[in-house]
């Protein structure tokens, strides 16, 4: 599973970075930097919350 952020939708609210600090940090303009995107099973619940709580619907989980 892969974590995907649509940069064209993202407005930098930062919800995803709070929920998934191991994957995401915020840059100086307050936009998320995805340091790695391979989602561990143990983080799936947090990732699902990031998907549902992102106000811009910019976060998704890609099953590959």
Partner 1 sequence: MSELISTSIMAPLGPRRLSLGWEQAQRNVNGNVAFVADLDSKPRTRVSLAEHISNYGRIPTGMTLGMILETLKVSNLTGRGGAGFPFAKKLEAVISSSSKRVPVIVANGSESEPISKKDVALLRNNPHLVLDGISLVAGILNAKNAYVYIKDREAAATMSAAIRERRDRGLSELRITVVDSPGGYVSGQETAVVRRIEKGPALPRFSTERVASSGVKGAPTLLSNVETFAHLALIARFGGDWYRLGGVSKDAGSRLLTVVGEIERPGVYEVTSAATLTEILREAGAGSLKGLLVGGYFGGWLGVNTLADLDITLDETTLNSKRLSIGAGIIGVLAKNTCPVVEAAGIVEYLASQSAGQCGPCFNGLPEISTAFARIALSSNVDRGLTELKAVIPLVEGRGGCQHPDGVIGLIRSTVAVFSDEIKLHKVGRCSVNGASHRSVLLPNNVFASNLTGIATR
Binding site for partner 1 (CB under 8 A): 4, 6-12, 27-31, 33, 62
Least separation, in Å, of the C-beta of 39 and partner 1? 14
Q: For residue 16, what are the CA distances in angstroms to 9, 62?
A: 13, 16
Which residues, in sequence order, are CB contacts of 11 under 8 Å at separation 6+? Answer: 55, 56, 58
Least separation, in Å, of the C-beta of 22 and partner 1? 19
Least separation, in Å, of the C-beta of 30 and partner 1? 8
Looking at beta carbons only, is 41 or 64 nearer to partner 1?
Answer: 64
| Cβ neighbours, 10 Å, residue 50 | 25
């Amino acid at each position: 599973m892969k974590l995907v952020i649509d940069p064209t939708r993202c407005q930098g609210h930062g919800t995803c970075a709070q929920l998934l600090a191991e994957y995401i940090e915020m840059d100086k303009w307050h936009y998320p930097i995805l340091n790695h995107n391979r989602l561990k099973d143990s983080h799936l619940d947090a990732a699902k919350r990031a998907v549902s709580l992102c106000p811009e619907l910019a976060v998704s989980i890609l099953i590959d």
